[in-house]
Amino acid sequence: MTVAMSIMISTEEIQAKVKELGEQINSHYANSDKELVLIGLLRG
């Protein structure tokens, strides 16, 4: 069985969004004494 697949989000779009989110996180925590905790969830 062959499954047709297409790219929905380009590599460049993902990289741009990751950069944007990183900049938002940096600016939010720049002058904070709070520790940033990230939890990654993987499914599949």
Q: Which whole-number Å values give the CA distances from 27 to 6, 7, 20, 43, in the listed order?
A: 35, 32, 11, 30
- Residues 42 and 10: their CA atoms lie apart, in Å, by 20
* pLDDT at 34 (0 to 100): 87
Using one digit for the tens of pLDDT, what is the confidence trace for 6-32?
999 999 999 999 999 999 999 988 988
pLDDT at 14: 97
- Residues 4, 6: Cα–Cα separation, whole Å: 7
pTM score, whole prediction: 0.66
Instruction: List b or e across 5-27, with b for residues whose CB sees 16 or more CB atoms inside 10 angstroms.
Output: eeeeeeeeeeeeeeeeeeeeeee
Q: Which residue has the tokens 């720049």?
A: 30
